Amino acid sequence: MAVYDKRLISKLERKANLIRQHVVRMIYLAGSGHPGGSLSAVEVIVALYFHVMNIDPKKPDWPDRDRFILSKGHGCPTWYATLAEKGYIPVEELDTLRKLGSRLQGHPDMRACPGVEASTGSEGQGLSMGVGMALAARLDRKLYHVYVMIGDGELDCGQTWEAAMAASHFHVDNLTAIVDRNMLQLDGPTAHIMSVEPLADKWKAFGWHVTEINGHDFKDILRALEKSKDVKGRPNLIIAHTLKGKGVSYMEGAVSFHGKAPTKEEYEQAMEELGGKA
Amino acid sequence: MNLKDFKLESQREYWAKALVELGKKRKDIVVLSADLSSSVKTSLFAKDFPERHFNVGIAEQNMMSIAAGLAACGKTAFASTFAAFGTGRVYDQIRQSIAYPKLNVKIIATHAGITVGGDGATHQIVEDLALMRALPNMTVIVPADAPETYRAIKTVADYVGPVYVRMGRANIPTITNSKGKFKIGKATLLKDGDDVCLIGTGIMVSRCMLAAHELKKHKISARVINLSTIKPIDTKTIVKAARETGGVVTAEEHSSIVGMGSAVAMCLVENAHVPMKRVGIPDVFGQSGDSDELMEKYGLTAENIIEAAHDVLGRKGR
């Protein structure tokens, strides 16, 4: 089992905390957005961008780069904040989220923002796009890996399962999907809206290599992501068990913060909890 | 002159011929099918280039978004299925995965319109042009015959961006010649005339030619224009023809309230006020039947065009 340097883990943890502060501020300033599903996804996206993926922010179109797709496009504040911290876009630009003329659209626009690999927002399409990118790598004999984060609400979408079947059928092994399993969707708990369990068994039955992790534990995340590169002949699924709204007490596990901005008082409290400046 | 004077050829065969030739020359060309490869003829590409053909099964949504992913990595992706399943069934996938990010995906649709015949209304899409016209970044092409299909596919492969190409199932009259490069956005003049202008698209261009021939017998000189690009529309050629002839008839194998005729009407209302009549399928679903019977039933014959021309001529100069 891989052992990770304490300094690496604490660096990633600091980054994750900084990104949570960005996310809360961005959505507060925008006056709308999706804090819950942004905050649950932070650690996985930070791990990908700050340790796992082979990327160069100075060359966002480098053909050999690893790709990341945020199929649950509403979580994009976390993606934008990570891209900014990584140097793709200026950090100051984060405050333009959802404003007229901004490159940071309410849902990701691959033609607007450097580093954004796919336009998503209408749910359930990102995994299919990822299959296409992974097949392109095979045709071009390139070694890049494609990562797709899907929301657990997207497991309701038929297209997610069409993509799951196709990835397995085409023996795509340079593809890793991560389910942000925060157990909530817009209308309530996923279990009440549409039952998706037994989730691991479903993906296994579709021919995927499946790993379950704590999606807020960097050691768990790094281990799973690195192991997924070694799986041959089939695609990888990581079920990342997460907490919606993670890091802000009143947002944690709160369906109400799926898609609304904090008030001024809530914003100030959140920043205090995250150790940032309001 | 009647329909039997024309050579009947398959658009699907010409599209496949162009595709296989492109596949030989260009490694960036990939093809996607959805369990209809033998019907849409992508099976011919699959035979020669199995590694570049992906049959995703009956999963058109998946097909469109996989095509987008391939295109995002530099591939020129041709996704082919029946028009009903390549537009309405996957409108949102085309909208978000392909058109919004302006990715290089070509949607090649066969079996459009009522000439599908026996399969009936579920398979006879008559509103696909409306859906595709409405999408920003989308180019919409309806070749008039098999040779034009071949030329259009070659041009479409060189154009970077989303394109919808519509063709039918039936073998249709060959009326264009196969020379010269197909130009996106350029309507072509097939026959000159001064009294009325017949603008056709797809299979109806041949009916416009027949109608013009009949009208000539009654000393009416009809101009015939093949409007094979529905979007971007060739406003210049349409307005010029309207001004010079003073009356326009459009003809399409598509719902007449949302297709090519309405695109031409928009063009005329803003630029040249002349009498106009639209020949097309009324606001109804189709049904099973022989394709010629259906063309007659839904008012898509040369006689319907002639009638419309007389109506326009009667309103000219009022």
Residue A16 maps to which CATH number? 3.40.50.970
Asked if the structure places residue B260 within a domain, the reply is yes
Looking at CA atoms only, how far is residue B130 from chain A in angstroms?
21
What is the C-alpha separation between A105 and A96, in angstroms, rounded?
9
Active site residue B293: no
Considering the domain architecture, whether residues B56 and B132 belong to the same structural domain is answered as yes
Give me the residue from A111, A130, A139 closest to B102, CB to CB: A111
Q: Which residues of B touch A76 (CB under 8 A)?
A: none
Kindly state whether residues B24 and B121 are assigned to the same domain. Answer: yes
Mean pLDDT (whole number) for B234-263: 97
Determine which one of B13, B51, B60, B148 is catalytic: B60
B166 & B194 share domain: no
Q: Which domain holds residue A180?
A: 6-273
- B204 with B121, same domain: the answer is no
In a domain, residue B183? The reply is no
- Summarised one tens digit per residue, pLDDT across range A106-116 is 999 999 999 99
B130 and B259 housed in the same domain: no
Q: Determine contact, residues B128/B155, Cβ cutoff 8 Å.
A: no
| Domain annotation covers residue B234 | yes
Which helix (H) or strand (E) segment is A48 a member of?
none
Considering the domain boundaries, does residue B182 fall inside one? no
Residue B178 belongs to some domain of the structure: no
Please give the Cα distance from A242 to A258 (Å, whole number). 14
Residues of A in contact with B57 (CB under 8 A): 165-166
Residues of B in contact with A136 (CB under 8 A): 30, 69-70, 72-75
End-to-end C-alpha distance for chain A, whole angstroms: 41
Q: Which chain B residues have a beta carbon less than 8 Å from that of A129? A: 65-66, 68-69, 72, 97
Query: Poorest-confidence range of A61-65, B174-178, B212-216?
Result: B174-178
As for how many domains chain A has, the answer is: 1
Residue B181 lies in a domain: no
The answer, yes or no, to whether residue B199 has pLDDT greater than 90, is: yes
pLDDT digits (tens, 9 = 90+) for A144-203: 999 999 999 999 999 999 999 999 999 999 999 999 999 999 999 999 999 999 999 999
Pull the structure tokens for residue B242: 């309207």
Q: Which residues of chain A have pLDDT under 70?
A: 1
Q: Mind telling me how many Å the CA of A67 is from chain B's nearest CA?
A: 10
Which residue in B65, B75, B97 has the most chain A C-beta atoms within 10 A of its own C-beta, making it the best mutation to test that interface?
Answer: B65
**What is the pLDDT at residue A34?**
98
Q: Is residue A1 included in any domain, yes or no? A: no
The answer to whether B53 contacts chain A (CB < 8 Å) is no
B318 has a pLDDT exceeding 80: no
User: Is the domain of B309 the same as that of B234?
Assistant: yes
Determine the pLDDT at residue A1.
Answer: 64
Chain A CB within 8 Å of residue B100 CB:
yes
Burial class (CB in 10 A: 0-12, 13-18, 19+), B90: buried
Cβ pair B69:A170 closer than 8 A: no
Tell me: do B167 and B209 sit in the same domain: no
Instruction: Sort residue B71 into left (φ over 0), alpha (ψ -120 to 50) or beta.
Output: alpha
- B26 and B167 in a single domain? The answer is yes
pLDDT at A3: 80
Does residue B233 share a domain with residue B163? no
Query: Cβ distance B27 to B76 under 8 Å?
Result: no
Mean of per-residue pLDDT scores for chain B: 97
Q: Among candidates B265, B266, B259, B267, which has minimal Cα distance to B277?
A: B265
The answer to whether residue B168 scores a pLDDT higher than 80 is yes
Mean pLDDT of B38-57: 98
Please give the pLDDT value at position A180: 98
Helix (H) or strand (E) holding B8: strand B8-10
- Structural domain harbouring B207: 188-315
B290's enclosing H/E stretch is none
Do B107 and B199 reside in the same domain of the chain? no
- Nearest residue to A244 via CA among A236, A256, A233: A256
Q: pLDDT grade, residue B45 (50/70/90)?
A: very high
Please report whether residue A278 resides in a domain. Answer: no
A182 and B CB contact within 8 Å:
no
As a whole number of Å, the end-to-end CA separation of chain B is 33
Distance CA B252, CA B255 (A): 8
Query: Any chain B CB within 8 A of the CB of A154?
Result: no
Q: Among residues B130, B148, B173, which one ends one of the domains?
A: B173
Residues of chain B with pLDDT > 90, as a percent, come to 96
CATH number at residue B240: 3.40.50.920
On whether the CB atoms of residues A235 and A209 are closer than 8 A, the answer is yes
CB-nearest to B65 from A125, A135, A137 is A125
β-strands A175-181, A184-185 pairing:
unpaired
Q: How many separate domains does chain B show?
A: 2
Eight-state DSSP code of residue A162: H
Regarding whether B160 and B84 lie in a shared domain, the answer is yes
Residue A186 located in a structural domain = yes
Best A119, A120, A160, A169 member to test B by mutation, with max B CBs in 10 Å, is A119
pLDDT at B93: 98
Q: Hey, of B49, B51, B66, which one would you mutate to test binding to chain A, going by the most A CBs within 10 A of its CB?
A: B66
Residue A151 lies in a domain: yes
Residue B112 sits in the same domain as residue B213: no
CB of B272 within 8 Å of a chain A CB? The answer is no
CA distances from B51 to A132, B36, B43, B300 (A): 13, 18, 12, 42
Q: What angle do CA B156, A123, B122 make, to 5 degrees?
A: 60
CATH of the domain at B131: 3.40.50.970
Q: Looking at the complex, does the CB of residue A187 fall below 8 Å from at least one CB of chain B?
A: no
Give the 3-state secondary structure of residue A13: helix
Q: What is the mean pLDDT of residues B192-202?
A: 98
For residue B232, whether the previous peptide bond is cis, meaning omega lies within 30 degrees of 0, is yes
